[in-house]
Structure 1
Amino acid sequence: MNRLLMPLLLGCWLLVSALLWVGWNQSVRSFETTSLQQMESHTHSLAEIQKTLVQLKLQEIERILVALETLAASTQMDRKQLEQAMRARKQPSPEILAFILLNHQGELQAFSLPELNPELSDRDYFVWHKDNPDSGRSYISPPLYSRSNDAVLFVAISRALHNQDGEFIGVLAAAIDLEQLASELGKLTEDGSHATVLSDLNGRIFFRMPWLPESTGLQSGVLASHVGELGSMHATRITSPFDGQSRQLSYGRIPDWPVVVYVSEDLSATELQIRTHRQIETQRALLALAFFSLLMGSLLLLLRRYQTNQVHLQQSEERFRLAQDAAQLGVWDLDLQSGELKWDNQIWKQLGYDKPAFPLSMQAWLDTIHPEDLPQVQQLLEASLRSRKPFLLEFRCQTASGQWQWQQGRGQVVSWDLQGHPLRLTGTSLNIHEYREAQQQLAERTEALQRSNADLEQFAYVVSHDLRQPLRMIRSYVELLEKRLQNQLDGDSRLFMHYITDGAARMDQMLVSLLEYSRIGRMGEPKALTPSRQLLDEALTFLQPEIQETQAEIICPEAWPDIYISRNEGIRLFQNLMGNAIKYRQPEQQPKIQIEITEQTNHWLFCIRDNGIGIAPDQQDRLFKVFQRLHARSEYEGTGIGLAICRRIVERHGGRIWVESAGANQGSAFCFTLAREEQPLA
């Protein structure tokens, strides 16, 4: 019933709402459409009239220019007579400021204002005809300021002059006072709500009426996007670029002229009427809707809440089921009074039993538990029932195939009788067999690793004591022989003695280095957040003799991060890298070392750059291997294990190390990364 009632009430409410909305929409749209159509028709008529007036005015000026062009071509008139004719033609047209005649070089040949003699060869109306002498049409210039009176704005309407051979010989132009022209042509729109704008096809404004001198000459993107097709009138609504008001706009192009006439009317009053009408109609519709809504609103709200709760409950159950399946988690329920047991399909899958063949009871379940685990399971269950606390069990359970499988059970009492006796126990079951096997393998591997570490420690002891002791004896006895037989040995014999002692010393040094390499990670301090600059400073303290001897220059950044590192290993890392940068240089060369630190997404990048001997690209892979040397011991001392130690320290802390070098004598850069966050030691 509820399922049918709620859609029915909602449908009735929607139907009434739709009818009210349709009535409201028709009334509002009809009023709005009628009002805007009336305004559009009005501005369209004004624009047609204005377009005709502008066209007639342009044709009138062009006829005057054609007449003057004929007079200018006559050889019987001198300049004075031609200027008199210009003034005569100008008299009935107050918008014409002057007539101008220029020769083909832009020199003034006649001017209706003879008292003036301006330079006009650079004017746009001359330059355009000079560049387009065969255009065959009149040209309207952009708005210009008069050079005799910079307060006067005008446009020039000009024509190119040609001789009988068709050669360009000059320009005849009429300077039109824009303010006067706007006053004459803008009488149709003198009231405050209308405006007339004249522009070229690119949106450059000739004038706006009511007169707005600062708009003259401006380039309007709004107008440029509303030019229209020749011979047609167009209408639209825009936001005025002049006063920011919403306006009804009608516009059209003038035939044979690159001129567009715009007539607009302020929409404020009409929009106010439309808004007022909309508000009245809205209030009527809302009152009717509110009256109807009160009749069913409360019931609809209650039903909707009920359905929402039902949906949420179903979604919650579905999420729980999906999560349970993904986790392979079984759910069981035990009636403690009857011993009846219920569990879901997940537990059937875990144990592999068939439903008809396996009796679901507490005793049947206990019979599947491994005899060694059963006492502990029963003890924990009884303790949980007494304490009313949840329990956690891990035990082996026999599956249908006869194999023993590790299970994890969780549960708690969820209901009691009036005397406080537990009635119902519910919980979950999880197959943890693979986890327990992995634990066993991990324990075995840990034990093997501990044995390996013990063997390694024993090896380190052998290296440090048992192997070094014979070397020290060899070295000592050779030195005694050398002293005893000092007077009996020739040069070759002494050299052979030196080879023996030197070889023993170098082998001892290599054993010490190998011992240090094996101790990395075992003898180091615990990993802690440490200022990296402090590690460098302590490393440089050990290197002071080499720094002073070579006068090494070390450039460090100002900011140093704190890093998670074993302190003594961090010092050894910087000491080895800085020591190499000082050692591997050309003789008599002052080491220059620069340290760079860069913050990356998950790491800090450290680079130690030097001006030393560099490294050939084909040798760089050998650098970080144990006992790998690129130079003879006679050139540079060392065991060839220092960079291997650096690599082991960096990799143990979750980073990597590499070298960059352009080649021999090009310097080197040893770079390594360390994690920004604490990482487990490798």
Structure 2
Amino acid sequence: MVDFTLDIADRMQAENALRESEEKYSTLVEQSLTGIYIVQDDKIVFANNRFAEIFRYSREELIGIESWRLVHPEHRDLNRDIMARRLTGEEAPSEYEAKGLTKDGETIWIERRNTRIEHNGRPAILGNVVDITKQKRAEEELRRINEKLKNFVDVVSHDLKNPIISIQGFSSLLFKKYQEQLGEKGRMYLEEIKGSARRMEILVSDLLALSRIGHVASRFKDVSSLKIVSNIISGLKGRLKDKDIEVVVGNDLPTVYCDETRIYQVFENLFVNAIKFTSGAKNPKIEIGYEDGGKFHQFYVRDNGIGIDRKYHRTIFERFLRLKEIEDEEGTGLGLAIVDRIVNSHGGKVWVESEKGMGATFYLALPKAS
């Protein structure tokens, strides 16, 4: 009799625990910020409140409806294929984005995550959905704005180049034919005009380069980084000689998979930057080397110049930022911003390690080809 009573008490305790667990599960599902559903035999057999809100149905209307009706025609094949592969145990994306359709026919964007479960003893799909329509619209609006900005920069750059070329041409002609008549002060003013035109030309070129990164298709191929660096040094030979800068290049610079034109610009901008930083150094020196960074090729450009205060280590890569300590008449403040944008478009990263007065080392990490 005692054993029987204990058995009933144990069973009641287990049932109460199960009921509490089910209530907690139900509350969790219904309070979830994500839409939760179960599909079996291509029909919805369960949907929580949030799922119904996203697709603008009542929960009663959703039960028994074919799941494909909630998917935009563009993505029905994709959705059907992923669910079928999931049910058969094949490999399928754990989460993906697809267009959906609400009850009133509006197109929405959904981020989906699903998995295979057993429901009432048979295979089914348990899914989670998040409405990302606002995010997608914001991204599209940003893309349109960026495209308009790029077109604007292209037009302005083109329209500015012609008068700049005219100013440079007529300035040179004026200097060549009338320098005696101009006198010393006139020649000085003319040099100022030519210098300003040259700076404007560089600024327009930098703006154009910055606007095209990520918009113009990159052409990736295997490229010798040593060849790139050697060509840059050859092109800057005059400036290096004038400033008596020693250059040291590592002999282990690897072949990298990249857009050669863009990465050439990265190394060139970093090298020119180092030349500026070493201005005034007693024994100016620039080193370009390589370290194996595992999944990344890690390069560095090191100088023994004025160094960079820690507070500028991130902002130095922003547009139009120029350090006051550097005397640079032709600089636009876009060189390092261009470097940062190109490296990011390659899936890499760039950063600086430096202390004021202790030189600077710029690191560049590019992913190795898989």
* TM-score normalised according to structure 1 size: 0.35
Whether 1:554 aligns to 2:234 is no
Aligned: 1:672 with 2:339: no
Cα deviation 1:477-532 (Å, max 9, x = unaligned): 55566677655545434433332332222222221222122222233633456554
Distance 1:580 1:609 in 2: 10
Over residues 528-569 of structure 1, what are the superposed CA-to-partner deviations in whole Å (9 max), with x where a residue is unaligned? Answer: 5655445434444444444566463314153x4554532221
Q: Decide whether the 8 Å contact of 2:36 with 2:127 is kept in 1.
A: no
Contact 1:543–1:575 (8 Å) recurs in 2: no
Report if the CA contact (8 A) 1:527-1:567 is conserved: yes
> Letter of the aligned partner of 1:652 in structure 2?
S
* Larger relative contact order (Cα-Cα within 8 Å, sequence gap ≥ 6): 2
- Find the partner of 2:336 among 640, 643, 646: 643
Question: d(CA) in 1 for partners of 2:185 and 2:350?
Answer: 46
Instruction: Find 1:352's aligned residue among 49, 52, 59.
Output: 59
Inter-partner Cα distance in structure 1 for 2:258 and 2:281? 36
Is residue 584–residue 636 contact of structure 1 (8 Å, CA) maintained in 2?
Answer: no
Cα 1:605–1:452 change in 2 (3 A) is same
Match of 1:592 among 285, 288, 292: 285
- In structure 1, the partner of 2:218 is 525
- Look up the match of 1:463: 156
Aligned to 2:364, the other structure's residue is in SS state strand
Equivalents in 2 of 1:441, 1:623: separation in Å? 30
Identity of aligned residues (%): 28
Report the equivalent of 2:201. Answer: 508
Of the two, which has the highest radius of gyration? 1
Does the 8 Å contact 1:581/1:591 carry over to 2? no
Q: Normalising to structure 2: TM-score of the pair? A: 0.59
Find the residue that maps to 2:197 and give its secondary structure.
helix
> 1:466 Cα shift?
0.6
Deviations 1:407-434 (A, max 9, x none): 99xxxxxxxxxxxxxxxxx9967878x5
Q: What residue in structure 2 maps to residue 204 of structure 1?
A: none
State the number of aligned residues: 295
- Please, which runs of 5 or more residues in structure 2 have no aligned partner? 1-28, 30-34, 53-57, 81-98, 113-121
Contact 1:330 1:347 in 2 (8 A): no
Query: Once the two structures are superposed, what CA deviation does each residue of 1:317-354 show, in whole Å capped at 9, x if it has no partner?
Result: xxxxxxxx997322249xxxxxxxx9845599966229
Question: Which residue of structure 1 aligns with residue 192 of structure 2?
Answer: 499
Q: Which amino acid aligns with 2:250?
A: C
Matches of 2:216 and 2:257, distance apart in 1? 17
Q: In 2, are the aligned partners of 1:597 and 1:607 still within 8 Å (CA)? A: yes
Q: Which aligned pairs between 1:565-580 and structure 2 lie closer than 5 A?
A: 565-580=258-273
Q: Match of 2:40? A: 331
TM-superposed deviation, 1:586: 4.6
Q: 1:396 to 1:671 in 2, by over 3 A?
A: closer
Q: CA contact under 8 A between 2:278 and 2:285: conserved in structure 1?
A: no
Given that residues 297 and 366 in structure 2 are in contact (C-alpha distance below 8 angstroms), is that contact kept between their aligned partners in structure 1?
Answer: yes
Q: Is the 8 A contact 1:331 1:347 kept in 2?
A: no
Provide, for residues 254-310 of structure 1, a one-character-per-residue CA deviation record: whole Å limited to 9, x for no partner: xxxxxxxxxxxxxxxxxxxxxxxxxxxxxxxxxxxxxxxxxxxxxxxxxxxxxxxxx
TM alignment of 1:15-414, pairs within 5 A: 328-332=37-41, 344-345=45-46, 352-353=59-60
AA at the equivalent of 1:672: L
Report which stretch shifted further, 343-352 or 576-585: 343-352
Cα distance between partner residues in 1 of 2:199 and 2:100: 61
Structure 1: which 5+ runs fail to align?
A: 1-324, 334-341, 381-393, 409-425
Look up the equivalent residue of 1:674 and give its one-letter code.
L
> Do the aligned partners of residues 429 and 403 (structure 1) sit closer, same or farther apart at CA in structure 2, a change above 3 Å counting?
farther
RMSD: 4.9
Aligned partner of residue 628 in structure 1, secondary structure: coil
CA change 1:405–1:497 in 2 (3 A) is: closer
